Structure 1
Amino acid sequence: MCIILVVMMHSTLGVGEAMGGEGFMHHIVAFAKPFRIPDFFLLSGLFVGRVVDRDWRLFADRRIVHFAYFYLLWLVLQSAVKYGQITDGAGPGAFLAHLAHGLVEPYSTLWFIYLLAVFSVAVKLLRRVPGPLLLAGAALLQLAPIHTGSTLIDEFCVCFVYFVGGYLFADRIFALADAVRARIGLALLGLAAWAALEGALVFTPSGFPSHPTLASLPGVSLVLGAAGALAIVAAAALLTRAGGPVTAALRACGERSIVIYLAFFLPMAGLRTALVRSGVIEDVGVVSLLVTLVAVAVPLGIERLVRHTPARFLFRRPAALHLVGEERPRPAPGLASARPT
């Protein structure tokens, strides 16, 4: 669900800009804005506790080298696709300078993977700090009006609190998932109440230019981010209990979320350009939906095609680049086999 919401946002906003309008998908994107990124980081933080107290060699392999490999590989691949736009006729030197800049400033959609490694190191270094103090400090960073222009610094301040929350409250969050499955009626009522409040705050103007909606106000955005992340946990727990093809499809996306995240940009841009230029479909919402579906499905298809070929390095770190033995995937208690990274 998290990765689909991220792809939906990029697809819908891109289509809206290209077609000069908005459709029904824009309302879904707006509704999900307060929790779309927080839930991704909170879910990622759930699993850092598995290795945070291990030796630095294993920790680095699981939480630094892993993300660094995919970031650097796809930094080159994504940049190569946009070579002309990046260099603007300046040649290979400009391209190399762009790649060097990408080492210190996260590039494009890959910023999330970059931040996962940074957050993991930060939690490792700060793990001896009392939990309440660590959480309070992270919350203050989120509330502070920090706008440096650096994606690394600004997104760290905005998102670190959710990663810390997932790390500190992992056991309670898994317990929440168990409680939701045990009390379905109450869980559905709670989700309905959350959705109503979320919608009211998202679509109500605040009167402040810097924070156009009530949901974007300082403090409110922090609470809505945490509440939305927990709502995703509750919805996932209900889906795993219900089973069925929808759950199976979402589980497949979750197990390969990094595949989708790395490769969705190319089919998204390609189909968007083709549909907009053809003019066959004029409804912005329908085009946005089609682009979203293709942007999710095509990376999964590519991964399946290359899974047993030398090209599998695109989505699977080669054994030679592991500092320790490869980790065997394990289902997470309370969230079945959904693995956010």
Structure 2
Amino acid sequence: MSNDSQRLQWVDMAKGLSILLVVMMYSAFSVGEDTGQTGVLHWIIAFATPFRMPEFFAISGLFLSLVIARDWKPYADRRVLHYFYFYAVWAIIHLVFKVGLVAGDPAMALIDLAWAIAEPYGVLWFIYMLAVFSAVAKLCFTLRLPHWLVLALGAVLQIAPIHTGSYLIDQFAAYFVYFYSGYVFAPMLFKLVAWAQANIGMALASLVTWALVHAALVFSPGYAVLPGEIHMGLASLPVLHLLLALIGTAALCVIASLLTKLAFMDWLRWLGSKSLVIYLAFVLPMGIVRTLLIKFDLISNISVLSIVVMASAVISPVVLYWLVQWTGFGKFLFERPDWAHIPGTPGARRPRQQVSATPAE
């Protein structure tokens, strides 16, 4: 939801936690792969592995009920084209910079860009899949499929060992159930958060119990924390993994709701309100800072190095966003221009002859 006045603070706080976990994972793994070492961020990511991305998708589906009953055109503009626009803009930026300039292969950049239409590209896969999930959810609504059936099919896809080689298909199978769960179970989640805010002591006790059980399952025999990947213990078992993801999502939302009680944590809520900005723009500064720090051996401690890389990856998009707002140049990076709307939808460019006849509202 675009206006701060329409937001629930805990939702933005949950998004803030989510985007930090996402950036943390990419920072820790990229540093780990370059150095062959693991640090403290790897262990945090290991704990969060079952719910890190499921929570992000579930939160994205929370307010779907407000728009899903609309006609296809306005719905597609807001929930499908919106994400595809930002995906396209930043896929071009990534490929031009990383493949065209750094690798010096413009031809391959064009080939990769063509493939990016059919297959989600790099870290931007999340934005791509949000558009796909929104379209599929709307199709299910149009066909009047019962929630239990869609959830059951989504759960089957998540549990099944689907590895087709197509990132689009595999990621759809792995995460659609969480997006749809956010849509279906939103009323229950809101009630849980309200209860937690009214019963802080019991909520904290429940969170401690959850964290201990969750950690025991993640770090049970068979787990491995490696420089570029995490292997869970019992938590990796199919059905259990799904349950831990849903329970972890609820736990993170409760944590977010309690953090809203702390005024000094409001920075995290603000970051959450700009989570899309950070997600779109964190990769390039993360790669540049990581490469320079490792090349010149400026930080030897792997944990400190990972934290510095992560901090730069979070702060840089915020600085870029402020510069865009201050100068007015480059707003297309974070705001969809009127020409990128479906004609006839809110925000779309109006025919010249109709502009003066349209009353201000």
Q: TM-score, normalised by structure 2?
A: 0.85
**1:275 aligned to 2:293?**
yes
Which of 115, 118, 130 is matched with 2:146 structurally? Answer: 130
1:64-143 map, 5 Å? 64-84=80-100, 89=105, 91-92=106-107, 94-127=108-141, 128-143=144-159
- The CA distance in 2 between the partners of 1:147 and 1:16, in whole Å, is 25
In structure 2, the partner of 1:49 is 65
Match of 2:330 among 311, 314, 329: 311
Number of aligned positions between the proteins: 322
Q: Give the residue type in structure 2 aligned to 1:258.
A: L
Of 11, 30, 42, the residue aligned with 2:27 is 11
Query: Which residue does 1:330 correspond to in 2?
Result: none
**Aligned-partner Cα distance in 1 for 2:210–2:242:** 15
Distance in structure 2 (CA, Å) of the matches to 1:255 and 1:211: 32
Closer, same or farther: CA 298–42 of 1 in aligned 2, 3 Å = same
Match of 1:172 in 2: 188
State the alpha-carbon separation in 1 of the partners of residues 223 and 322 from structure 2.
49
After TM superposition, give the deviation of residue 281 of structure 1 in Å. 1.5
Change in 2 beyond 3 A, CA 1:12/1:60: same
CA contact (8 A) 2:64 2:183 kept: yes
Contact 1:86-1:95 at 8 Å conserved across structures: no
- Asked if 1:225 corresponds to 2:266, the answer is no
CA contact (8 A) 2:217 2:234 kept: yes
Give the superposed CA RMSD: 1.9
Q: Which amino acid aligns with 1:282?
A: S
Q: Is the 8 A contact 2:200 2:258 kept in 1?
A: yes
**Alignment correspondent of 1:187:** 203
**Matches of 1:217 and 1:86, distance apart in 2:** 41
Q: Give a deviation string over 1:105-145, Cα, whole Å, max 9, x none.
A: 00000000000010011111112111111111110110111
CA distance in 1, matches of 2:82, 2:218: 36
Q: What's the secondary structure of 2:62's corresponding residue?
A: helix
Q: Paired residue for 1:234, among 254, 262, 273? A: 254
Task: Quote the offset at 1:207 in angstroms.
Answer: 8.4
- Mapped contact 1:38–1:226 kept (Cα < 8 A): yes
Range 42-51 or range 66-75, more displaced = 42-51
Q: Which residue of 2 aligns with 1:264?
A: 282
Contact 1:86 1:98 (C-alpha < 8 Å) held by counterparts:
no
Matched, 1:152 2:173: no
| Structure 2 residues without counterparts, runs of 5 or longer | 1-16, 225-229, 349-361
Pair 1:20-2:36 in alignment: yes
Q: Is the 8 A contact 1:281 1:287 kept in 2?
A: yes
Q: Is 2:327 the partner of 1:321?
A: no
Distance 1:41 1:244 in 2: 27
Contact 2:218–2:232 (Cα < 8 Å) also in 1: no
Question: Please, what TM-score do these two structures have when normalized by structure 1?
Answer: 0.90
Alignment match of 1:245 (pick from 253, 264, 274): 264
- Pairing 1:163–2:179 present: yes
Distance 1:211 1:10, change over 3 A: closer
Read off the aligned partner of 2:253 and give its amino acid letter: V
In 1, Cα distance between the equivalents of 2:124 and 2:74?
24
Structure 1 residues 145 and 85: alpha-carbon distance in aligned structure 2, compared to 1, 3 A threshold: farther
* Structure 1: unaligned runs, 5 residues or longer: 328-341
- Shift of the 188–87 alpha-carbon distance from structure 1 to 2, 3 Å rule, reads same
Query: Structure 1 CA distance, aligned partners of 2:58 and 2:206?
Result: 20
Q: Which amino acid aligns with 2:127?
A: I
Counterpart of 1:281 in structure 2: which amino acid? I
Q: Is the Cα–Cα contact under 8 Å of residues 219 and 232 in structure 2 kept in the other structure?
A: no
| SS of the residue 1:49 aligns to | helix
Say whether residues 1:60 and 2:76 are aligned partners. Answer: yes
Change in Cα spacing, 1:104 to 1:86, as seen in structure 2 (3 Å) is: farther
Within 2, Cα distance between the matches of 1:98 and 1:267? 21
